[in-house]
Amino acid sequence: MRDMTMRGFPTRLGLLVLTLTLASAAWAEAPQPPNVPEPPEPPSAPELSVQGYTIRAGETHKGNVVKVAPTLAVEGTLDGDMYVTAQTVRISGVVTGDVFVAGQQVDVTGKIEKSFRAGAGNVILDGTVEGNVLVTGGTLTIGSNAHVHGSVSAYTGQFTQRGTIDGSLTFTGGTALLGGTIAEDATLTADALVIEPGARVEGDIDYSTRKPMDAELRAIAGGDVSYDADRVKDKKKSDRAEHKEGPSKFSIGVRIAFFTASFLFGCAMLAVFSAHEPKVTQTIRADALRCTGIGFVSILVTIAVCLSAILLITIPFVVIYLVAYVVAAYLAKIPVAIWLGRMVFEKLHRPTGPYLALFVGLVLLYVVFMIPFALGVLAQIAATLLGLGAMTMTYLAHRAAKKAAAAAA
């Protein structure tokens, strides 16, 4: 009996790390510290939904919304923060907290009482944001009805501004169109700038484009106008140099070291969790898209956990959680590599063990990770999310089966 207990200890220890990694599986409300009036509520447990989610007009949802769904709409009032990944997000009502969004199309015509942060293909902001705005992705359009009380930072291919910005504007990307009002300074790094009638920048303008536009910008600036041609040129030169020179000996050595470490850690994981390995790889094979979605939810939960550090009593928990999450994120590529390796040998009609599949899969992953033009970085992110989601789903299924067995007994 003692031998069985000792053999089961590593499995329970590993499952504990996964529990800390995904607060969605073991989220507990942090105790409130004394003498602090009205402490903020911890984020709600994340939910994965195959259907759209809507807060109807006239409805009020109290608490945070943390969701992965095809569509999400706020027509009423969300009294809390929003952490959402969805293909389409529409906010025509009121959100009293911060908004963190990842999606394809994001439309904001309502009111956000704190900050707005989005990574999306197309963002249309034609409402009110009381805090700052940060957008990365394809396009950002600030419509004529938009009013941003804070500052705007945009890193997009296309940027259009026809509304009012009470703070400053920072843009880095392709083409920027200015047609509204900016109360403070503007820092613009773009291939081209377009100035519409009615555009106004009350502060200084520091810009970098292919061609100087001092006369046009002085006509709309309330402060100084400075032109820096080197920012655009240096960026293009550095990009071309990286593509021509290729990876250095040092970078190759670093990749070999990381590959070796990943393989050794993977072998250790296989030795400890050999009984769970087929379940994890089968989960990836059966529903890779859902695994990736759950992996993305873990990032949203991590952000929420970090925000909860405002409650001083939860700081030790946040530190422990972040350490566990970083370890799990680093190891997430292991089940993905095993899955890839097994797929390769299945195509060759050759049976193989998990260790050889791990080695072959890691080779394939690291080759993909070396692809330039940011594709390698995206591949690393995708592999991490896929692995995190697969481990989480396997753990949840294991826990459900254990509860069912205990209830049957």
**3-class DSSP state for residue 263?**
helix
Question: Could you tell me the two tokens for 220?
Answer: 């709309």
Question: Could you tell me the two tokens for 222?
Answer: 């309330």
Rounded-to-integer distance, Cα 65 and Cα 84, Å: 7
Q: How far is CA 373 from the centre of its chain?
A: 19
Question: Could you tell me the two tokens for 28?
Answer: 């507990």
- Dihedral sign (CA 341, 347, 353, 356): negative
409 residues of the chain, pLDDT tens digit each: 444 444 444 444 444 444 444 444 433 344 444 443 444 444 444 444 446 889 999 999 999 888 777 889 999 999 999 888 778 899 999 999 999 887 789 999 999 999 999 888 899 999 999 999 999 888 999 999 999 999 999 999 899 999 999 999 999 988 999 999 999 999 999 988 999 999 999 999 999 988 888 899 999 999 999 998 776 555 555 545 444 445 555 566 666 777 777 777 777 777 777 777 888 888 888 888 888 888 777 777 676 666 655 554 455 666 676 777 777 787 888 888 888 888 888 888 887 788 888 888 888 888 888 777 677 788 888 888 888 888 888 888 878 888 888 887 7
Which residue from 287, 256, 255, 279 is spatially nearest to 335, judged by alpha carbons?
Answer: 279
Residues comprising the chain, all counted: 409
DSSP for residue 314: G
Residue type at position 32: Q
